[in-house]
Structure 1
Amino acid sequence: MDYMIRGNLKNRPIRFFVISAKDTIEKMRQIHEAMPNASACAGRSLMATALIGYTMKNDDDIVTTILNCDGEIGKVTCTANNKGQVKCDIINPKTNIYLNELGKLDVKKVVGNGTLRVIKDIGLREPYVGETDIVSGEIAQDYTYYFAMSEQTPSVVSLGVLVDKDKFDIMYAGGLIIQLLPGNTEEDIEYLEEKVSHLKYMTTLLSEGKTPEDIIKEIFNDEEIEITDKQDVVYFCNCSREKIEKVVIALGKKELEDIIATDHKITLKCHFCGKEYTLSEEELNNLLKEA
């Protein structure tokens, strides 16, 4: 079962969030029939989004992250809440396979340049929106940069997705976010930098059988760690026929009349989960009355 933990250090203003999400990222890959580089890119961003969602207080709070890129993948949109429910849309999941000089998937090759936008809907009149440039294309560094520049929160972000070279399925997926809280000192900063300086690749830790609890203990001493919560993670789409009907109504009266006259029905596919909804001519005529 995929899950994440959160907690803090007992005697320092440092908090942490750690996720293990192999099955969730595999489901994402299957839905989008994603190629390896796209799986690694979207998988990393989806886990970062899940961890950000885990920081939110209310059940109705939603975070949406958008990687808007000029590379092959185009755009990756992820959403999450604080209950561990996540979903993802990939504009072009059929990216080519590129390897870097170390023989690992070259994610930045399919990302290119662009922006990372984070939208937090926390029940206020207007959602909070932060946006920064994509500075790396390797995703973890881009979220690190976002936290520093948009939220003024010094953070360590590590994200990893290991894809099977032959079958393209997900072997391991996990990540973490460690953040310095207000009131931190230069000593706290140096302490954190020293602790994470020897951190292994996330997929290496997971391949060694490490759990989220084990991973945070790889960084900090047992006696200083306080784990405060554990949350299951699941790929979940809340699309429905009612929501699809609202989309169709939004097309407007003229376009609806054209669809009825020409095709007599319409089939729409959810970008997040792939589920198809077909509305009959009778249903379209009923919606036409509302348009």
Structure 2
Amino acid sequence: MKSAFDQSYSLTMKRQSNSVLIVMNLQPEQDTEHARHLDTLASDGIDIFLLARGNLRGAVIHGTHMLNAMRRNHQLGIMESLILGHGYLATALVGSQLKEHGRVILSIDCSGPVQGMNVEATARGEVRGYLKNSTILIEEELESFDTGPFIGVGILSLTRHLERQKQPFTGQVLVEYGSIARDLANYYVQSEQTPTAFNLSVQFDAAGRISGAGGLFVQAIPGAHDEEKERAQELVEELPSLGRLFADRHTGADVVHRQFAALEPEIVGTREASFFCACSKERFARFIAGMSDQELDDLEANGPFPVTTVCHNCNSTYEFTKAEVHELAARHRKP
């Protein structure tokens, strides 16, 4: 039986040359019991596969660690984690089809309480993003985990920045279902005329913690036979809860080989998947130094200090003392 949390259809360091740039404030897991559970799971990652002798392509993501990190940094409740988590999983799956330096942005503007989201994934599996309203007021006990009432209707945009392409490509469709899996599948049919099925799943334990998370998509390649496409759609819809499978220590390759055995699956590649943002105090310092003279004068005079900056993509905060602001202002005014 499918989990109520499923949707189906469709402190970090980065090395630059010989130096190390501190990027993103990654919040640690404070719950020792949950940390022990996460330590028993396979690493996050994306398995890319072919079906039906190459007539269908797809990818499966294990994203349990990624979504736990997302939730900690953004300080999200259960429903907020479910909705943004679906966005992270889906965008990572789309990004897995890009070449090395490509990236994709999923943007939703909607009428529901979340108001929308913006999620970006690179071809390397680095994912970041946010809800436009990260605190949903729930006045009555939920009867289900249907995301429709919280998303509502609106516009879904998918923007690809492709390697060696000067201009990005953006497509849009109406948000009709309030389900990222169904609305993204509809995007591919309406905007790109490509039959595509998605399955997105986040599993919570009895304490409301994310115990497993994963997603999968299958896409028809031109020339695929109707019976192959229909069988693949059926198999995606019949998938057990991916979140539960990953919570029970299964791997993405296990899922592909067991669920799609009738379509002769072949794993053709793997990629990492992680919650990662390239923001840094240095980047925000450059932003402050680039402010106008009037804005800098006001900031130096009135603060408040320390000046706190927040990255909306990962919710990292960076503080600047009065002395640091003065130094940045002096740098700005230097002829």
Work out whether the TM-score is over 0.5: yes
Cα displacement string for residues 77-98 of structure 1 (whole angstroms, at most 9, x for unaligned residues): 1111111111122222221357
Partners of 2:47 and 2:269 within 8 A in 1: yes
Cα displacement string for residues 98-130 of structure 1 (whole angstroms, at most 9, x for unaligned residues): 7765xx423222211212111111242211111
Please tell me the residue identity of whatever aligns with 2:53.
N
> Which range moves more in the overlay, 199-208 or 210-219?
199-208
Three-state SS of the structure 2 residue aligned to 1:283 is helix
| Structure 2 CA distance for aligned equivalents of residues 250 and 14 of structure 1 | 49
Following superposition, the deviation at residue 252 of structure 1 comes to 2.5
Partners of 2:213 and 2:244 within 8 A in 1: no
**1:213 maps to which residue?**
253
Equivalent of 2:159, from 116, 119, 122?
A: 119
**1:275 maps to which residue?**
316
| Structure 2 CA distance for aligned equivalents of residues 222 and 184 of structure 1 | 15
Following superposition, the deviation at residue 235 of structure 1 comes to 1.0
Following superposition, the deviation at residue 217 of structure 1 comes to 2.4
**2:65 maps to which residue?**
23
**What value does the CA root-mean-square deviation take over the aligned residues?**
2.3
Please tell me the residue identity of whatever aligns with 1:219.
Q
Following superposition, the deviation at residue 208 of structure 1 comes to 4.8
| Structure 1 CA distance for aligned equivalents of residues 141 and 202 of structure 2 | 14
Three-state SS of the structure 2 residue aligned to 1:11 is helix
Following superposition, the deviation at residue 273 of structure 1 comes to 2.5
Equivalent of 2:135, from 80, 94, 104?
A: 94
Partners of 1:39 and 1:93 within 8 A in 2: no
**1:152 maps to which residue?**
193
* 1:105 equivalenced with 2:149 (yes/no): no
Equivalent of 2:116, from 45, 53, 75?
A: 75
Please tell me the residue identity of whatever aligns with 1:284.
L
Three-state SS of the structure 1 residue aligned to 2:105 is strand
**2:265 maps to which residue?**
225
Partners of 1:62 and 1:121 within 8 A in 2: yes
> Which range moves more in the overlay, 90-99 or 47-56?
90-99
Partners of 2:239 and 2:259 within 8 A in 1: yes
| Structure 2 CA distance for aligned equivalents of residues 222 and 290 of structure 1 | 69
Following superposition, the deviation at residue 3 of structure 1 comes to 1.0
Three-state SS of the structure 2 residue aligned to 1:56 is coil
Partners of 1:47 and 1:159 within 8 A in 2: yes
Q: Give TM-score, length-normalised by structure 1.
A: 0.89
Following superposition, the deviation at residue 10 of structure 1 comes to 5.0
* 1:286 equivalenced with 2:330 (yes/no): yes
Query: What percent of counterpart residues are identical?
Result: 28
Cα displacement string for residues 268-288 of structure 1 (whole angstroms, at most 9, x for unaligned residues): 111223322233232331343
Partners of 1:40 and 1:163 within 8 A in 2: no
| Structure 2 CA distance for aligned equivalents of residues 159 and 134 of structure 1 | 17
Following superposition, the deviation at residue 223 of structure 1 comes to 7.5
| Structure 1 CA distance for aligned equivalents of residues 96 and 141 of structure 2 | 32
Partners of 1:32 and 1:90 within 8 A in 2: no
Three-state SS of the structure 2 residue aligned to 1:217 is helix
* 1:50 equivalenced with 2:85 (yes/no): no
**1:2 maps to which residue?**
44
Partners of 1:2 and 1:23 within 8 A in 2: yes
Please tell me the residue identity of whatever aligns with 1:135.
E
Give the length in aligned residue pairs.
Answer: 287
Cα displacement string for residues 133-177 of structure 1 (whole angstroms, at most 9, x for unaligned residues): 1121121111111111122211010001123453x3211110101
Partners of 2:115 and 2:132 within 8 A in 1: yes
**1:189 maps to which residue?**
229
Following superposition, the deviation at residue 40 of structure 1 comes to 0.4
Please tell me the residue identity of whatever aligns with 1:26.
N
Partners of 1:10 and 1:226 within 8 A in 2: no
Following superposition, the deviation at residue 12 of structure 1 comes to 4.6
| Structure 1 CA distance for aligned equivalents of residues 236 and 303 of structure 2 | 59
Q: Give TM-score, length-normalised by structure 2.
A: 0.78
* 1:137 equivalenced with 2:178 (yes/no): yes
- Aligned CA distance change for structure 1 residues 10 and 105 (closer, same or farther; 3 Å): closer
Please tell me the residue identity of whatever aligns with 1:85.
E
Runs (4+) of structure 1 moved beyond 4 Å? 97-101
- Aligned CA distance change for structure 1 residues 260 and 215 (closer, same or farther; 3 Å): same
| Structure 2 CA distance for aligned equivalents of residues 137 and 23 of structure 1 | 25
